[in-house]
Amino acid sequence: MDEVLEQLKDGVRRFRTEVYPQQADVFVQAVSEKQAPHTLFITCADSRVDPNLITSSGTGEVFVTRNIGNMVPAYGEMLGGVSAVVEFAVSALKVRHVVICGHTHCGAMQGLLAQAGLETMPTVKSWLKNAHAALSVAETLHKKDDAAAKRQLLEVLTEQNVLLQMQHLKTHPSVAGAMAQGELTVSGWIYNIGTGEVSVAEDGQQTFTPVGVSAPAGVA
């Protein structure tokens, strides 16, 4: 018997018997019309990151793509899965916001800092080139910037990677066009797995601000 498969099947059974019946109308409604997610959420494949959980989003609200290190190759560099998702989400689904979400304890960022460990994984090593510019910026900041020097290089790199991927995102014609029309905004996030805290850099900001647990005045 395949223990892992059985564990997964048990999960399906719980979903069918406990979760689905309580929300059946939501699922039926969700397939009665085209999906219309408001957000494209690009994050790491890390098994501890759950976009719907941390944004309290339900079925149909968030279009998600995940890869190692929450990367978006610059347009034309590696036309593939991520580029296609971005184009489809922006041009066809007309999402109004794109989140690029990095996270603490990211193995991809650790891999960038210790590339010797990547020799047996040439594909991963090649993929991580999408973050080399962030590594360069993070190392410089860590040496020369007083505030950055007090923090761990991994932490600085994780933030710089999100900021870099936001730049890459804007090289995609669909994104640039929708932003020019005022129809799309972008933000960069860092999710702290251990504490649950999320910090956000809005477009144009270079620093990440924690999302407070009470809504700001004037926001319902």
- Number of helical (H) and strand (E) elements in the chain, helices listed first: 10, 6
Stretch that binds Zn ion, among 14-22, 55-63, 108-116, 196-204 (CB under 5 A): 108-116
Beta bridge partners of 209: 200
Compute the least distance from the CB of residue 49 to Zn ion, in Å: 7
Query: What is the Cα Rg of the chain in Å?
Result: 19
Among 106, 112, 164, 166, binds Zn ion (CB under 5 A): 106
x/- map, 58-97, Zn ion, by CB under 5 A: ----------------------------------------
Compute the least distance from the CB of residue 92 to Zn ion, in Å: 28
Is 157 among the residues that bind Zn ion (CB under 5 A)?
A: no
Is 54 among the residues that bind Zn ion (CB under 5 A)?
A: no
Nearest to 101 by CA among 150, 38, 48, 147: 48
Write out the H or E segment, with its range, that includes residue 100: strand 97-103
x/- map, 134-153, Zn ion, by CB under 5 A: --------------------
Stretch that binds Zn ion, among 26-34, 102-110, 132-140, 202-210 (CB under 5 A): 102-110
Compute the least distance from the CB of residue 114 to Zn ion, in Å: 14
Compute the least distance from the CB of residue 150 to Zn ion, in Å: 23
Beta bridge partners of 64: 41
Among 39, 46, 142, 161, binds Zn ion (CB under 5 A): 46
Stretch that binds Zn ion, among 43-51, 53-61, 179-187, 205-213 (CB under 5 A): 43-51
**Phi, psi values for residue 83, rounded to 5°:** -60, -40
| Angle (deg, nearest 10), helices 153-169 and 132-144 | 130
Coil, strand or helix: which one is 80?
A: coil
Residue 98 CB burial class (10 angstroms; 0-12, 13-18, ≥19): buried
List residues binding Zn ion (CB under 5 A). Answer: 44, 46, 106, 108
